[in-house]
């Protein structure tokens, strides 16, 4: 294999593995679109539920369609009591992503039509999963902390309801809107590792619960999800604005990675970071705790000066979620709460025009070896 081919094939970077109408990333220009709509236009004007409809149906909903769509989610917020009972048996120190993966797999048992790969049954399962993931995450956080579970409020949208179930009080309107936009920003990102995983599993005509469970498992890996948690741990480690540059110099000298800076696709600013930077500043000013934004901004500036690198979606989302009072280990589950919309959109697309995804691997091992009896080895 040539060096050029080897470089291209490693991690399938640059290899086109599917055709899709759902989302596209232009890394050179820093453009992200969902079904033809620019992410900035959607973040400015739409809601998460509206974006989910768009991802699944390739068009924006009419007013009555959106109300009906929201109602379907709201009527499916609840999780079976058997699942709640199961959660209560888990070790209290279990990783939230592991809990989410196991709970989603178990939800399959309580959806009689969940194995259907036809459009109607798969769509119904997608609605249930999108509605129930926030409930699972919030329920687990309260269970592990010895608190009573907060029942979902069917009058709230997905973003509002999650913050309510997590905290036990309804969020202020501006914070709920910021969180809603956060869900929009994370909803889809073309053929990332977890989305590709869901399409591979769906391509076997496995049911949607199995495909989403696999997606969660992929997202749990530290090279995919978890970067914003690592960013916040970094900021807490640095501790103050004056420590940023000495910390960065030492980190670069030791050739360690600065989490949240740089991206596999974007060669300029990640368009999602534009919004999250603004939210970090706004929330910091509102709560009188601007140091996390100031530290992030300085780190961003220095990394651009020293390495020519830009922040990605994880960099400022870390301080946004921290200022919202969200536990650090829930950052990746929140990613899943949003990305379930993109996963299921891709699964529905895969079911609609399915072909088993079965690539080849170039064999680079030995050949023509002869078996040696065990006593002669």
- Look up 368 and say whether it is catalytic: no
Burial of 375 (0-12, 13-18, 19+ CB in 10 A): exposed
Do residues 303 and 309 touch, judged by C-beta distance below 8 A? yes
Q: Please choose, from the candidates 196, 201, 199, the residue with its C-alpha nearest in 3D space to the C-alpha of residue 105.
A: 201
Contact in structure between 344 and 212 (CB atoms under 8 Å): yes
Q: Is 279 left (phi over 0), alpha (psi -120 to 50) or beta?
A: alpha
- As a whole number of angstroms, the distance between CA 121 and CA 114 comes to 7
- 271 in Cβ contact with 40 (< 8 Å): yes
Beta strands in the chain (DSSP E): 23-26, 31-34, 37-38
189 is catalytic: no
Q: Phi, psi at residue 329, to the nearest 5°?
A: -80, 5
Which residues 6+ apart lie within 8 Å of 11 measured at CB?
none
Which of 285, 347, 278 lies closest to 126, judged by CA? 347
Q: How far apart are CA 363 and CA 319, in angstroms?
A: 45
CA 14 to chain centre: 21
Q: Annotate 112-136 with DSSP letters as a single string.
A: TTTT--SHHHHHHHHHHHHHHHHHH
Which among 314, 329, 346, 375 is annotated as catalytic?
Answer: 314
Choosing from 186, 189, 263, 346, which is the catalytic residue?
263
Using an 8 Å Cβ cutoff, are 341 and 55 in contact? yes
The DSSP code sequence of 30-49 is: TEEEETTEEHHHHHHH--HH
Residue (of 372, 319, 317) closest to 339 by Cα position: 317
> What's the distance, Cα to Cα, between the start and end of the chain in Å?
32
| Short-list 87, 38, 37, CA closest to 60 | 37
The burial class, CB within 10 Å (0-12 / 13-18 / 19+), for 314 is: buried
Catalytic residues: 263, 314
């Amino acid at each position: 294999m040539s060096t050029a081919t080897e470089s291209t094939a490693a991690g399938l970077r640059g290899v086109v593995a599917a055709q899709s109408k759902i989302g596209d990333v232009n890394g050179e220009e820093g453009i992200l679109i969902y079904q033809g709509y620019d992410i900035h236009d959607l973040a400015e004007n739409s809601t998460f539920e509206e974006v989910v409809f768009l991802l699944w149906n390739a068009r924006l909903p009419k007013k009555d369609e959106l109300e009906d769509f929201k109602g379907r989610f709201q009527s499916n917020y609840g999780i079976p009591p058997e699942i709640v009972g199961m959660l209560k048996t888990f070790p209290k120190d279990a990783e939230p992503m592991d809990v989410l993966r196991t709970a989603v797999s178990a939800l399959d048992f309580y959806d009689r039509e969940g194995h259907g790969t036809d459009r109607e049954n798969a769509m119904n399962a997608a609605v249930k999963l999108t509605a129930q993931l926030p409930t699972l995450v919030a329920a687990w956080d309260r269970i592990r902390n010895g608190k009573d579970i907060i029942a979902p409020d069917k009058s709230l949208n997905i973003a509002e309801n999650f913050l309510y179930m997590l905290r036990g009080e309804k969020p202020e309107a501006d914070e709920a809107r910021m969180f809603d936009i956060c869900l929009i920003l994370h909803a889809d990102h073309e053929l990332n590792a977890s989305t590709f995983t869901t399409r591979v599993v769906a391509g076997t005509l496995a049911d949607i619960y199995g495909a989403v469970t696999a997606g969660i498992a992929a997202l749990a890996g530290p090279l995919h999800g978890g970067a914003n948690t690592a960013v916040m741990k970094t900021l807490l480690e640095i501790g103050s604005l004056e420590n940023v540059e000495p910390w960065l110099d030492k980190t670069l000298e030791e050739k360690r990675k600065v989490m949240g800076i740089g991206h596999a696709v974007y060669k300029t600013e990640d368009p999602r970071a534009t919004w999250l930077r603004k939210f970090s500043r706004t929330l910091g000013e509102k709560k009188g705790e601007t140091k996390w934004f100031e530290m992030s901004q300085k780190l961003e500036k220095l990394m651009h000066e020293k390495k020519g690198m830009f922040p990605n979606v994880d960099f400022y989302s870390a301080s946004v979620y921290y200022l919202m009072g969200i536990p650090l280990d829930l950052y990746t589950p929140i990613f899943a709460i949003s990305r379930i919309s993109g996963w299921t959109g891709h699964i529905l697309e895969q079911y609609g025009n399915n072909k088993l995804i079965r690539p080849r691997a170039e064999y680079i091992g030995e050949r023509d070896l002869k078996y040696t009896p065990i006593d002669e080895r």
